[in-house]
Amino acid sequence: MEEYVIYSKSFLLVYFFIIYCAILFWALRKKNKKRLEGLKDIPFLED
């Protein structure tokens, strides 16, 4: 049973790393640049 715990921890690390890379790839695409440029000022907008 301990083997499953060890493998599941490794699997989760790899899984989250892949998710992180996918989000990073999505955010840095040129297609999303205009959209993300418009969103960067949201915290500074007043109600």
The three-state DSSP-derived secondary structure of 25-40 is HHHHCHHHHHHHHHHC
Q: Per-residue confidence at 43, pLDDT binned at 50, 70, 90? A: confident
DSSP letter at 45 equals -
Cα 16 from Cα 24, distance rounded (Å): 12
What token pair was written down for 18?
A: 């892949």
Residues 4-37 have pLDDT tens digits of: 888 898 899 999 999 999 999 988 888 888 888 8
Q: Which pLDDT belongs to residue 37?
A: 82
| 39 pLDDT more than 90 | no
pLDDT of 47 higher than 80: no
For CA atoms 25, 26, 29, 33, the dihedral sign is negative
pLDDT at 22: 96
